[in-house]
Amino acid sequence: MSGLNREQKEAVGLLSIGTFLEFFDLMLYLHMAVLLNELFFPKTDPHTAALLSAFTFCSTFVFQPISALILGWIGDNIGRKATVIMTTFIMAVSCLVMANLPTYEQIGVAASWIMVICRISQGLSSMGEIVGAEVYLTEVIKPPLQYPVVTIIAVFSILGGNAALALASFVTSYGLNWRMAFWMGAGIAMVGVVARTTLRETLDFANAKSRIKKTFEEADINADLLENSFLFKEEINIKTIAALSIIQCGWPICFYFSYIHCGNIFKNVFGYTAEQVIHQNFISSIANLVGYIIITYLCYKIHPLKILKVKLIIFSIFIMLCPYLLYHLSTPLELSLIQSFSMLFILSTNPAMSVLYTHLPVFKRFTCATLIFAISRALMAVVTSFGFIYLIEYYGHWGLLIIMAPLCIGFAFGLNHFEKLEIKAGRYHHQKKKLAIS
């Protein structure tokens, strides 16, 4: 952080805190779903309950592509700043509605529908939030400091989820009113909305527009012809889009396996209560946080794509052994270790998110980033949540590999593509030299 100027430090602080609050609000219900689904949905058998959990998980992501088009257009035509303010406000309002929503016993199926709408709204806002923050910092900070700074956003998203889990565990353990957490999240999010109005537009976005305008003015050309500028005409590489899309698929699959699938095993095999599952997930989430802190430190010294390659190798070996390990579980501790290990080496875009974004055209970057994020989350949420249920039902734990094996192969393809782009740009093998110069 010592290499950042005052304005950059303020941006990192505001965006990190905002991301923390957004993911606190988003993950609060997701982690408490094992308990809150019983309050807002009709009581069902274990199989139907698993489907309800899957539906609740999916509802957070399936409509994100629509939001990506809207927020992407705003981000690329109005500015990055406007999107992060809007998304924080939407999250605050959704959280406030959930905090005051009557239960299923009080108003029937209306409670279920309103809750699903709130979850959809939170999913829409969270997408624009984290992508907006990461793109913003990618454009205001240069490598190699850019790598850990952008990864800090991910760390704060994990911290938000951990705080939500901690609060959920505390509330359920001591019999407190769960609504307190949602009231708190809504209030703090509104403070974040006000704070974010102090952000300035990113230099890449603002300067690019001013450069084009100045060029046209000097040439005495009609400004309406700006769209013919080379910056506007910069083409999107389809292979790059495909590679980024595949890499983005890693997080939702790993998240569902670790928290939802393993949580169901704790509940159905070891007889854990909803409160115990929430507490167990909180313990395992610490491994996720530790892993992200480590890679945030390492990516300043080691190229982020090299770190992702090591994570992929370790995760691939682990997931191939996972079905055998799940078949031979004898204690909850063994399942806890599996859950924690999967979160420690979770396949995600971090710490290479800023590297991936730099290979998208500036004036299409926000739209591309949000669409890829949204579509990958929506697709994988459906495939994973419902796929896990039926694959496990028909093939047992070996059914995991039907989803996990293609993920690892596709992830390797994506990494290979971006490695070639970084080598071509002269950044892949020269980070130590850049560090010495800086």
In this prediction, residue 166 carries a pLDDT of 83
pLDDT at 11 (0 to 100): 74
**pLDDT confidence of residue 217:** 56
Q: Are 249 and 333 in contact (CB under 8 A)?
A: no
Q: What is the DSSP string of 131-166?
A: HHHHHHHHHHS-TTTHHHHHHHHHHHHHHHHHHHHH
250: which DSSP letter? H
**Structure confidence at residue 297 (pLDDT):** 92
- The Cα 323–Cα 333 span in angstroms is 16
Give the model's pLDDT for residue 164.
Answer: 81
Confidence at residue 205, expressed as pLDDT on a 0 to 100 scale: 47
Q: What is the pLDDT of residue 110?
A: 86
Angle among Cα 156, 381, 379 to the nearest 5 degrees reads: 115
Q: How many residues does the chain have?
A: 438
Q: How far is CA 46 from CA 34, 255, 359, in A?
A: 11, 21, 46
Q: Name the CA dihedral angle for 126, 129, 135, 140, rounded to a multiple of 10 degrees.
A: -160
Residue 291: the pLDDT is 92
State the CB neighbour count (10 A cutoff) for residue 103.
15
Q: What is the predicted pLDDT for the residue at 32?
A: 72
Cα–Cα dist 4/330, whole Å:
51
CA–CA gap between residue 135 and residue 115 (Å, rounded): 30
The pLDDT of residue 437 is 42
| Residue 410 C-alpha from the chain's centroid | 19
Residue 128: its pLDDT value, please?
A: 59
Residue 84 Cα distances to 5, 14, 88, 227, angstroms: 21, 10, 6, 26
Report yes or no on whether pTM surpasses 0.85: no
Tens place of pLDDT per residue across the chain (438 aa): 566 777 777 778 777 877 787 777 777 777 677 677 777 777 766 666 666 666 666 666 677 677 667 766 666 566 656 666 777 777 778 878 888 888 888 888 888 888 878 877 877 676 656 777 788 788 888 888 899 999 998 899 888 888 888 877 777 777 677 787 778 777 766 766 666 565 555 554 444 455 445 544 555 545 554 455 544 556 778 999 999 999 999 988 898 899 888 988 998 889 988 778 888 888 888 999 999 999 999 998 899 999 999 999 999 999 999 999 999 999 999 999 999 999 999 999 999 999 999 898 877 787 788 788 888 888 887 788 778 878 888 899 999 999 999 999 999 999 999 999 999 988 886 554 444 444
pLDDT of the residue at 230:
47
DSSP string across 304-358: HHHHHHHHHHHHHHHHHHHHHHHHT--SHHHHHHHHHHHHHT---STT-HHHHHT
Domains of the chain, first to last:
6-437 (1.20.1250.20)
- Dig out the tokens for 366 from the structure: 């926000």
